[in-house]
Amino acid sequence: MFPTETVYGLGADAENIEAVRKVYSIKGRPLSHPVILHLPKVDDLAYWASDIPDEAYKLADIFWPGPLTLVLKKSSNVPDIVTGGQNTVGIRCPSHPVAQEILIAFAKSKNHKKGALAAPSANMFGKISPTCSSHVYNEFNKEYLKEIFVVDGGVSNIGIESTIIDLSGIREGKKASVLRPGHITEMNIAKIIELESKDLSSNSIVVSGSLKSHYATITPLTVIDDTFFSKNLSVFAQKVDRLAVLYYGDKPINVEENIDLYYMSSDPIIYARHLYAMLRKIDSKKYSRIFVKDLPFLAEWDAIRDRLYKAAAGFN
């Protein structure tokens, strides 16, 4: 397990099929869900991807190393287990200094000098991604932890998973599209390349983060509309034993005794950085329910809203 600026990853040599298979089994992840390849630098891209469009290099030039994953046609060097049998591969180059050090050393250790780590987020399938090493220790069965080496790189600065952009159809005339929103927004990307604005739910490619119920807490979580939120908190509180409430902005008034309030930043960058740690903390306290105040309908909140709505979806 290694730190990245987004979330911690559970890495395996991308060319070692058994090692990648083990990553799937530790996570409890279905084999049809592809994992992202992590490279130290853009120079190695052509070893792992084929038919690379100029758009990939334009984006890499600006956003790599950083929290952006490019989906491209895979090269013959990518084993099928990494891509879940698809002919495309997700690739990113993380900026975290510890991730960089590990990836540089790993790439060099291979004869071809272009080694990469296949790494999903280091959590059980469908659960919240880890943003520090203690999350990783708490996530997995002790038996597995004996075999896994956890590298501590502090708290992940961004706190939510990378933006994923599909560039695999560009050569056939399809526009690029965002498959998973993230810290790098559609607007940031649209300034560099042409982008199709697409309904995420109509996506035919398998992106596990696009399953409706994902990033889930153990405690049932509901996102509450702003107007309801301030007026009806005590009405909701009567129906449950203990309620955790995640809010930003003005502190709710008339709060019942069985409600605990958790304050979040009104800045989306800071909100995202602390979100998963906060949800894990609340989850450990065994509340009957978590209420989250809905977020501003502004582009910079899209990625956080995506994660919270998907966390809530399994409980609807």
Binding footprint of Mg ion on the chain (CB under 5 A): 121
CB of 189 to Mg ion, least distance (A): 21
Can you tell me the distance from the alpha carbon of 132 to that of 4, in angstroms, rounded to the nearest whole number?
10
Q: If contact means CB under 5 to 8 A according to the sort of partner, which of Mg ion, ligand TXA, none does residue 83 touch?
A: ligand TXA
Phi, psi of 176 (to 5 degrees): -70, 150
Which of residues 8 and 291 has its CB atom nearest to ligand TXA in the complex? Answer: 8
Looking at the Cβ atoms of 39 and 237, the one nearer to ligand TXA is 39
Structure tokens at 207: 């992106």
The residues, ordered by sequence, that sit 6+ positions from 39 with a Cβ below 8 Å of its Cβ are: 45, 48, 91, 92, 93, 103, 107, 114, 116
119 versus 304: smaller Cβ distance to ligand TXA: 119
CB of 122 to ligand TXA, least distance (A): 7
The residue among 9 and 181 lying less far from ligand TXA, judged by its C-beta, is 9
Select 53 or 120, whichever has its Cβ closest to ligand TXA: 120
Instruction: Kindly state the smallest distance separating residue 183's Cβ from Mg ion, in Å.
Output: 15
Answer for the pair 277, 156: CB distance below 8 angstroms, yes or no. Answer: no
List strands edge to edge, sheet with 289-293: 221-224, 289-293, 243-247, 259-263
Q: What is the DSSP letter of 161?
A: P
Report the partner that residue 6 touches, choosing among ligand TXA, Mg ion, none (CB closer than 5 to 8 A by kind). Answer: ligand TXA
164 binds, among ligand TXA, Mg ion, none (CB under 5 to 8 A by kind): ligand TXA
> Hunting for tokens 């952006």 — which residue is that?
68
Task: Compute the least distance from the CB of residue 200 to ligand TXA, in Å.
Answer: 11
What is the spatial distance between Cα 174 and Cα 70, in angstroms, rounded to a whole number? 15
What is the chain's Cα-based Rg?
Answer: 20
> Which is closer to ligand TXA, CB of 121 or CB of 133?
121
The residue type found at 264 is M
> Residue 164 forms beta bridges with which residues?
69, 180
User: Residues 255, 259, 264, 268: is their CA dihedral positive or negative?
Assistant: negative
Tokens describing residue 186: 């559609």
**CB under 5 to 8 A by kind: which of ligand TXA, Mg ion, none does 170 bind?**
none
Name the residue nearer to Mg ion (CB basis): 52 or 162. Answer: 162
Report the partner that residue 88 touches, choosing among ligand TXA, Mg ion, none (CB closer than 5 to 8 A by kind): ligand TXA
The Cα–Cα gap between 35 and 120 comes to: 5
Q: Which parts of this chain interact with ligand TXA (CB under 6 A)?
A: 4, 6-7, 9, 33-36, 67, 69, 71, 83, 86, 88-90, 92, 94, 119-121, 161-162, 164, 179, 205-209
Nearer to ligand TXA, 193 or 207 (CB): 207
Q: How far is the CB of 164 from ligand TXA (least distance, A)?
A: 5
Nearest distance in Å: CB 146, ligand TXA: 22
Pairing assessment for the beta strands 289-293 and 243-247 based on DSSP bridges: parallel
Buried b (16+ CB within 10 A) or exposed e, 150-185: beebeebbbbbbbbbbbbbbbeeeeebbbbbbbbbb
- Which of ligand TXA, Mg ion, none is residue 69 near (CB under 5 to 8 Å by kind)? ligand TXA
Q: How far is the CB of 43 from Mg ion (least distance, A)?
A: 27
User: Closest separation between CB of residue 120 and Mg ion, Å?
Assistant: 5
